Structure 1
């Protein structure tokens, strides 16, 4: 096999492996927001998306009559960029909280203070990634706003957007976790690396996450 064929084979294999593993958050991309990632197991969300999750054995959601959706945080503090501004980050956090409240209101009473029959939803957005379309072999930097390195020529390519979240559901009476989920989602493509990311680009995936929270089953 020639050197050129070897390089081509290696690149193709890398792309295939990247594609197979890109549907869920990798362990090296965990942020540290959750206390113990070893308990997470592969699962499927209500919308059919692959996720990593843990559910307390014997969890009975019918015992909860209300839900408190805390403001989603960025963990740890992110570093805004020219393409991903602080305003966009604030908008994304606000949008996700409102979407969760809207969807969960169809299942539980949304409250602003927890009691014994309240399910508390705590979440952290751990990464927002913007990378050139077609450049699939790159390392997402967790806990950061990553812009993948690309050549000058790649500046005209569409930019893929990906967002990562880690979520905890807590018992309002004991403050102990009853469920945890780690997942990632793909937003709309940006026109090029000069296009600023806005909450509209991520709204579809945020809406899906909120609907999955409403339809969650142990």
Structure 2
């Protein structure tokens, strides 16, 4: 590749990241699940979605022969609503774990207990946001505010669904973090503020997260 080609590619990346900045989780939306957010930098996932990410400089995925996917938690603890039930929230965490295990099994051995050669993935669903389509209404953290944005006279307007995740990869030998990712995903639109959120509405986002985890490169 020529110098000019490298230059164009670099400039394109800068422009892409600038455009994606508003689509990433913002610092005031971090939940506190991760111990450190200070080194997160904007980048894009394998599928091209904007994310905030930190990777340890010495991370070598070849040193891991197995992966353990801890069941995601809801953090902070949610207060279910008529529109978003505890059953749906539990289904979301269970499905995300299964999707991650399914995708990562094509890359390394999935185990239930960590060993020295295991990469441990722990994650939290930090918020679910329902907001009137086309409106710039935003209330997301804590997760208890699940439908707060939708309560502002949404009427029959479609509701955008967003879900936020914070993920940390830990070295099974040292118990030290080797990567952190904070991102959000978009689900299907709900018909109105009387429509209950279902797992199926967020499956597209959860499946994409799992596929990106499989394709992850330092």
TM-score, with normalisation over the residues of structure 1? 0.88
Cα distance between partner residues in 2 of 1:209 and 1:216: 10
- Aligned partners of 2:75 and 2:126 also within 8 Å: yes
Residue 201 (structure 1) aligned with residue 201 (structure 2): yes
Structure 2 match to 1:49: 49
Structure 1 match to 2:173: 173
Moved more, 139-148 or 82-91: 139-148
- Aligned partners of 2:159 and 2:192 also within 8 Å: yes
Structure 1 stretches lacking a partner, 5+ long: 1-18
Cα distance between partner residues in 1 of 2:112 and 2:54: 26
CA distances 1:188-215 after superposition (whole Å, capped 9, x unpaired)? 0001100000000000000000000000
Cα distance between partner residues in 2 of 1:167 and 1:150: 30
- Aligned partners of 1:65 and 1:117 also within 8 Å: yes
TM-score, with normalisation over the residues of structure 2? 0.88
- Aligned partners of 1:168 and 1:180 also within 8 Å: yes
- Aligned partners of 2:168 and 2:177 also within 8 Å: yes
Structure 1 match to 2:10: none
Equivalences, count:
199
Cα distance between partner residues in 2 of 1:78 and 1:129: 12
Which SS does the other structure have where 2:71 is aligned?
coil
CA RMSD of aligned residues (A): 1.4
- Aligned partners of 2:84 and 2:146 also within 8 Å: no
Structure 2 match to 1:108: 108
CA distances 1:89-116 after superposition (whole Å, capped 9, x unpaired)? 0000000000000000000100000000
Large movers: runs of 4+ above 4 Å: none
Cα distance between partner residues in 1 of 2:138 and 2:113: 42
Which SS does the other structure have where 2:100 is aligned?
helix
CA distances 1:161-201 after superposition (whole Å, capped 9, x unpaired)? 00000000000111110000000011000011000000000
Structure 2 match to 1:6: none
- Aligned partners of 1:163 and 1:185 also within 8 Å: yes
Cα distance between partner residues in 1 of 2:205 and 2:38: 26
In the TM superposition, residue 43 of structure 1 has moved relative to its aligned partner by: 1.1
In the TM superposition, residue 149 of structure 1 has moved relative to its aligned partner by: 5.0
Cα distance between partner residues in 1 of 2:132 and 2:96: 25
In the TM superposition, residue 125 of structure 1 has moved relative to its aligned partner by: 0.3
Structure 1 match to 2:66: 66
Cα distance between partner residues in 1 of 2:55 and 2:158: 38
- Aligned partners of 2:164 and 2:184 also within 8 Å: yes
Cα distance between partner residues in 1 of 2:173 and 2:39: 23
- Aligned partners of 1:81 and 1:145 also within 8 Å: no
